[in-house]
Amino acid sequence: MATPTLEKADMAPEPEAGFADSPYITATFRIRRFNPEVSDEAQWQDFQIEIDPKERVLDALHKIKWETDGTLTFRRSCAHGICGSDAMRINGKNRLACKTLIKDLNPEKPITIEAIKGLTVLKDLVVDMDPFFQAYRDVMPFLITKGNEPTRERLQSPEDRERFDDTTKCILCAACTSSCPVFWNDGQYFGPAAIVNAHRFIFDSRDEGGEQRLEILNDRDGVWRCRTTFNCTDACPRGIEVTKAIQEVKRALITRRF
Amino acid sequence: MSTETSAIGDVEGSALYDVDNPAPVIEPPRKRTGKTPKGSRTNFEMYAWLFMRLSGIVLVVLVLGHLLIQLVLDGGVSKIGFAFVAGRWASPFWQMWDLAMLWLAMLHGANGLRTVINDYAERDNTRFWLKMLLYTATVFTVLLGTLVIFTFDPNIR
């Protein structure tokens, strides 16, 4: 009678009796473990934990590491979808553990978690990211200009900024590159992430190194190896249209050569 | 410290690997490193990619037309014989049609197989020799087919 909040509180226990006591469910996490100091083979290990399904997979990994098995190894830094440290293969799809809610994964079945593919597994869910960042470095992901530096800010119209807005969102988590079947078979391929970051500068009106980057991506291991399977677009936790960006680089190469 | 580690290993009876002697990790095929050779600076891959798209469009017309004429229209497959081929190749139009189909289909297929080999053959040697085999077969088939189309003699035998 007094306030809506109070009325709701009065009514709540009636229909949800027994259920509302605990939001926790028992979920099984099937994690691919690899420890070169113990064995040369990776194996699946099941962990059953009580967890609120509204929590994230990263929370489950924390719970396992902090309360069950301290040897479980994974990367995470900010834990809020910005740093891109905790990309992993969850139920066969590349995602960020910190952006995946357990309730979205059908927790009645075991939830499989493994390291991203195509890179050397160092321990459990930690992979060697060096080849990934080498490809990133090779496309020169920095502003290249000619002439003297201007005395004021390099201005740009909103339309010019909009041209490459999508590819500025990349957080270098490697979810796209490690979901690419071409990259799985041949690590020499630049991979979607490097092409996305080249795209970010190729279509920037302030940048003058676009031709150099296009030349790099015109290579045998460049954009022409893309088979447009769209795995990268599906995997991107930032919703970047990765395959579209790759196609735009292809189109730029063709229109600039003819 | 070291005695403790070895003691655990002895109990379990399978201390193949430990902290000082870790197992080899499984490296992915053809990893990119700082020493990866830089590009060849040619447009070959772009032309190959464009060729696949353009030849594909032309082949749809050529191949479907070919199948229709050979297998469906005018009595179907039973009409095909030496006389039928001789009659068709008397006309330069059908000679050009078959020549274009031969060249485009062979180069289209060979380029497709080349990308498959580039994708899947892991060792440099395997890749090289598979591609050599592919190129030899392609050149042989294209040249033999071209020779037959141009030197076909209906009065042979």
B96/chain A closest Cα distance in angstroms: 28
User: Does B154 have pLDDT greater than 90?
Assistant: no
Give the separation between CA A61 and CA A126, rounded to whole angstroms: 13
Give the separation between CA A125 and CA A112, rounded to whole angstroms: 12
Measured between beta carbons, the chain A residues lying within 8 angstroms of B43 are: 218, 257
Place of tokens 């080999």: B117
Q: Tell me how far CA of residue A24 lies from CA of A11, A45, B89, B132, in angstroms.
A: 22, 22, 78, 62
Q: Do B26 and A121 touch (CB under 8 A)?
A: yes
Reference A236, options A57, A105, A81, A126; nearest CA is A81
Residue of B16, B27, B36 with shortest CB distance to A188: B36
Instruction: Name the residue in chain B with its Cα closest to that of A120.
Output: B27
Residue of A37, A135, A257 with shortest CB distance to B18: A37
Q: Tell me how far CA of residue B115 lies from CA of B109, B129, B141, in angstroms.
A: 10, 14, 20
DSSP structural state of residue B24: P
User: Does B157 have pLDDT greater than 90?
Assistant: no
Reference A223, options A233, A231, A213, A210; nearest CA is A213
* Distant-in-sequence, close-in-space partners of B4: CB < 8 Å, separation ≥ 6: none
DSSP structural state of residue A73: -
**What percent of chain B is helix, strand and coil (3-state, nearest 5)?**
70, 0, 30
Interhelix angle A210-217/A242-257, rounded to 10 degrees, is 100
Give the separation between CA A233 and CA A241, rounded to whole angstroms: 5
Per CATH, the number for A130-257 is 1.10.1060.10
Residue A131 at interface with chain B, using a CB cutoff of 8 Å: yes
Instruction: Name the residue in chain B with its Cα closest to that of A182.
Output: B119
Beta bridge partners of A33: A43
Q: Fold for domain B52-157?
A: 3 helical TM bundles of succinate and fumarate reductases (1.20.1300)
B2-56 confidence digits (pLDDT tens)? 444 443 444 455 568 888 888 888 888 788 887 777 767 788 999 999 999 999 9
Greater model confidence, B143 or A256: B143
HSE of B2 in the Cβ direction (CA atoms, 13 Å)?
Answer: 2
Q: Tell me how far CA of residue B88 lies from CA of A243, B64, B65, B157, in angstroms.
A: 46, 17, 14, 18
Give the separation between CA A92 and CA A115, rounded to whole angstroms: 10
Residue of A39, A118, A225 with shortest CB distance to B17: A39
pLDDT of residue B77: 80
A135/chain B closest Cα distance in angstroms: 7
Residue among B32, B33, B131 with most chain A CBs within 10 A, to mutate = B32
Is residue B85 within 8 Å of B145, Cβ to Cβ?
A: no
For residue B16, what are its two tokens?
């193949």
pLDDT of residue B51: 96
Measured between beta carbons, the chain A residues lying within 8 angstroms of B17 are: 36-40
What's the rounded mean pLDDT across residues B88-105?
93
| pLDDT classification of B76: cutoffs 50, 70, 90 | confident
pLDDT of residue B14: 59
Domain ranges of chain A: 25-127, 130-257
Terminal-residue alpha carbon distance, chain B: 91
* Distant-in-sequence, close-in-space partners of B6: CB < 8 Å, separation ≥ 6: B15, B18
For residue B110, what are its two tokens?
């060979």
pLDDT of residue A157: 95
Place of tokens 């590819």: A167
pLDDT of residue A20: 59
Q: Tell me how far CA of residue B64 lies from CA of A202, B19, B52, B87, in angstroms.
A: 41, 64, 17, 20
- Print pLDDT tens along chain A (258 aa): 444 444 444 444 444 445 557 889 999 999 999 999 998 899 999 999 999 999 999 999 999 999 999 999 999 999 999 999 999 999 999 999 999 999 999 999 999 999 999 999 999 999 999 999 999 999 999 999 998 989 999 999 999 999 999 999 999 999 999 999 999 988 899 999 999 999 999 999 999 999 999 999 998 889 999 999 999 999 999 999 999 999 999 999 999 877
Residue A249 at interface with chain B, using a CB cutoff of 8 Å: no
pLDDT of residue A257: 76
Instruction: Write phi, then psi, for A48 (nearest 5 degrees).
Output: -105, 120
pLDDT of residue B71: 85
Domain A25-127 in CATH 3.90.226.10: no
pLDDT of residue B6: 41
The helix or strand, by DSSP H or E, that contains position A51, with its residue range, turns out to be strand A43-51
Q: Do B29 and A185 touch (CB under 8 A)?
A: yes
Residue of A37, A39, A186 with shortest CB distance to B30: A186
